[in-house]
């Protein structure tokens, strides 16, 4: 029988948060391997494009105000695997080049609490050109208390009041994973929900993730007059909850609000927050809310209270934009904490076009529907959806077998569009340690299209990515070499393939013909 210990904490000080922190510090970038911690929904090319368009609109708005000399700092909180930053920077590059207009310079700063993540980004091959251009930097940043940002590449320290331009803050799946307060509103009173934490005795056999999942939580309410005191900085939203809510458990993002206020002090001109999360900005969605449930995925997450952010900053003169329709998986919003926020026309229009009309949440819902039907789709619908998603590598991997099965009936235009899509996809592909080899899937599709020279390039890349040589790759490479007039190279590949798989009939037959 396992011994358990039980102790009472404030919800924001419960040991689950320290374990959460420990999980990311231990795992580093491996936390996102094969979607152990979800990253696709907030890091695909579609959402990267939406964010880049809003940022580009903001840069245009600053240029229209004559502010083109000082750089704009774009700070991503909890940049995680790094894919989102890569997609944003890639798209911004294209927008800036195509527009050919005068814009203020910008610097994108990827931040995280885990030092391993920062070191991993600094070494990532795809990010090196941006580092060399001076548009990308990194920082270890603790949302709980840090008041300055120390950049690793430029060796610059950004302190309160240093920035002349407004700061752009990007926060994806961030507020749902940092400590929050838990309040209970009932009979016009505010209670704090203390949490009784029951956890097994620490065992060397338990990983941090396993320990998190074995913890059980129980809640006890106690009166919390401190939230109603005149000195409490968020009393206005608390008063609203007392008036409008009944028998409701509310996750209150005090730490998230204080984090944004500290970031706001770095600039003399305010900030624009671009954020996406499992988060409700409608007060009605918090009515009669039950105690929260932890959603486990290696670490854990909760629902973010976007209503508290929206109400607090709008009461201080800001502007919050969320979709008028209800979200399903991902709520995407912008908060303009700026002087005359309505004057930022281009940024607001970008949110309207790329979030409200059809945004990242709509795309994810549609992709879930497409994933279940990919085996019945024709090549044209596959190509159309692939374009819609910004030539997403994950979708290509999921549809590669179906594409191969349709190549025999494809016309020349479809084949050319497929090659163009592959080129575009590869140009912005952000490599992660996942259980697939994108270069191999590309190489096989191109091989089946008889595009031997291009197929050879990707198959050679795929061979280098494999921990052990693969007979199939070597056999396909042999045919590519043969079609391109390199019989010696073909023979060498076949011999290597047969060393790995002596019974490979096609390789035996082809080698016999060559000899």
Q: Which residues contact 293 (CB under 8 A, 6 or more apart)?
A: none
Distance CA 22, CA 507 (A): 50
Phi and psi torsions of 14, nearest 5°: -65, 155
CA distances from 246 to 191, 250, 477 (A): 12, 11, 68
Reading the block at residue 422, the tokens are 């592959």
**Among 505, 502, 510, which residue's Cα sits nearest to residue 481?**
510
**Among 498, 189, 247, 25, which residue's Cα sits nearest to residue 478?**
498
Residue listed under structure tokens 């996942």: 434
Look at residue 271 and give its three-state secondary structure.
Answer: strand
CB atoms within 10 A of CB 64: 13
Q: Can you give the residue ranges of every domain in the chain?
A: 21-178+255-357, 365-514
pLDDT tens-digit map of 215-235? 888 899 999 999 999 999 999
CATH entry 1.25.40.10 includes domain 365-514: yes
pTM: 0.93
Distance CA 348, CA 354 (A): 10
Reading the block at residue 109, the tokens are 């700063």
CA distances from 91 to 86, 88, 97, 248, 345 (A): 9, 5, 10, 42, 20
Q: How many CA atoms lie within 13 A of 376 on its CB side?
A: 5
pLDDT tens-digit map of 4-32? 567 888 999 988 888 888 887 777 666 66
Look at residue 151 and give its three-state secondary structure.
Answer: coil
Distance CA 381, CA 384 (A): 5
Phi and psi torsions of 502, nearest 5°: -55, -25
Dihedral (Cα; 228, 142, 170, 369), 10-degree rounding: -90
Tens of pLDDT, residue by residue, the chain (515 residues) = 344 567 888 999 988 888 888 887 777 666 666 555 667 888 999 999 999 999 999 999 999 999 999 999 999 999 988 999 999 999 999 999 999 999 999 999 999 998 999 999 999 999 999 999 999 999 999 998 999 999 999 999 999 999 999 999 999 999 988 999 999 999 999 999 998 888 777 656 677 777 778 888 889 999 999 999 999 999 999 999 999 999 999 999 999 999 999 999 999 999 999 999 999 999 999 999 998 887 777 777 889 999 999 999 999 999 999 999 999 999 999 999 999 999 999 999 999 999 999 999 999 999 999 999 999 999 999 999 999 999 999 999 999 999 999 999 999 999 999 999 999 999 999 887 766 789 999 999 999 999 999 999 999 999 888 777 788 899 999 999 999 999 899 899 889 989 888 888 888 888 888 87
Q: Do residues 162 and 264 touch, judged by C-beta distance below 8 A?
A: no
**Among 272, 418, 295, 365, which residue's Cα sits nearest to residue 41?**
365
Pick the CATH number of 21-178+255-357 from 3.40.50.1820, 3.20.20.70, 3.40.50.150, 3.90.550.10: 3.40.50.150
Q: Which residues contact 377 (CB under 8 A, 6 or more apart)?
A: 370, 399, 402
Distance CA 148, CA 267 (A): 11
Distance CA 486, CA 492 (A): 10
Considering Cα of 199, then 202, then 208, then 211, what sign does the dihedral take?
Answer: negative
């Amino acid at each position: 029988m396992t011994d358990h210990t039980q102790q009472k904490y404030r919800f924001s000080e419960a040991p689950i948060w320290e374990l959460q922190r420990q999980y990311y510090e231990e795992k580093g970038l491996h936390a996102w391997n094969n979607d152990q911690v979800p990253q696709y929904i907030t890091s695909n090319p579609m959402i990267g494009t939406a964010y880049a368009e809003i940022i580009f609109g903001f840069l245009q708005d600053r240029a229209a105000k004559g502010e083109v000399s000082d750089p704009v700092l774009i700070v991503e909180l909890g940049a995680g695997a790094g894919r989102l930053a890569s997609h944003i920077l890639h798209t911004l590059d294209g927008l800036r080049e195509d527009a050919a207009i005068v814009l203020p310079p910008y610097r994108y700063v990827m931040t995280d609490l885990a030092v391993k993540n920062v070191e991993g980004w600094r070494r990532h091959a795809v990010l090196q050109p941006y580092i060399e251009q001076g548009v990308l930097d990194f920082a270890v940043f603790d949302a709980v208390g840090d008041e300055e940002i120390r950049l690793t590449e430029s060796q610059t320290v950004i302190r309160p009041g240093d920035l002349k331009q407004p700061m752009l803050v990007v926060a994806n799946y961030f507020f749902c994973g940092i400590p929050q307060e838990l309040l209970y509103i009932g009979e016009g009173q505010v209670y704090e929900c203390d949490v009784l934490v029951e956890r097994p005795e620490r065992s060397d056999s338990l990983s941090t993730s396993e320990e998190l999942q074995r913890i059980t939580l129980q809640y006890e309410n106690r009166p919390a007059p401190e939230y109603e005191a005149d000195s409490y900085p968020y009393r206005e939203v608390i008063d609203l909850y007392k008036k409008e809510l009944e028998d409701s458990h509310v996750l209150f993002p005090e730490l998230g609000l204080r984090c944004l206020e500290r970031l706001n002090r770095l600039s003399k001109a305010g900030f624009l927050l671009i954020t996406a999360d499992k988060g409700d900005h409608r007060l009605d969605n918090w009515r009669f809310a039950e105690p929260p449930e932890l959603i486990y995925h290696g670490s854990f997450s909760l629902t973010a209270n976007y209503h508290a952010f929206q109400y607090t900053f709008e009461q201080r003169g800001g502007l919050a934009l969320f979709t008028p329709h209800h979200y399903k998986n991902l709520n995407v919003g912008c908060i303009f904490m700026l002087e005359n926020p309505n004057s930022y026309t281009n940024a607001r229009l970008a949110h309207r076009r790329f979030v409200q009309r059809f945004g990242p949440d709509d795309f994810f819902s549609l992709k879930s529907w497409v994933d279940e039907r990919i085996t019945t789709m024709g090549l044209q619908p596959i190509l159309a959806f692939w374009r819609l998603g910004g030539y997403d590598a994950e979708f290509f991997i999921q549809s590669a077998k179906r594409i191969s099965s349709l190549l025999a009936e494809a016309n020349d235009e479809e084949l050319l569009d497929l090659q163009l899509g592959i080129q575009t996809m590869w140009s912005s592909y952000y490599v992660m340690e996942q259980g697939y080899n994108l270069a191999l899937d590309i190489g096989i599709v191109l091989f089946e299209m008889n595009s031997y020279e291009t197929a050879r390039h990707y198959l050679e890349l795929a061979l280098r990515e494999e921990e052990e040589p693969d007979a199939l790759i070597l056999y396909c490479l042999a045919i590519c070499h043969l079609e391109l007039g390199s019989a010696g190279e073909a023979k060498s590949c076949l011999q290597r393939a047969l060393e790995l798989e002596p019974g490979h009939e096609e390789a035996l037959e082809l080698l016999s013909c060559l000899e």
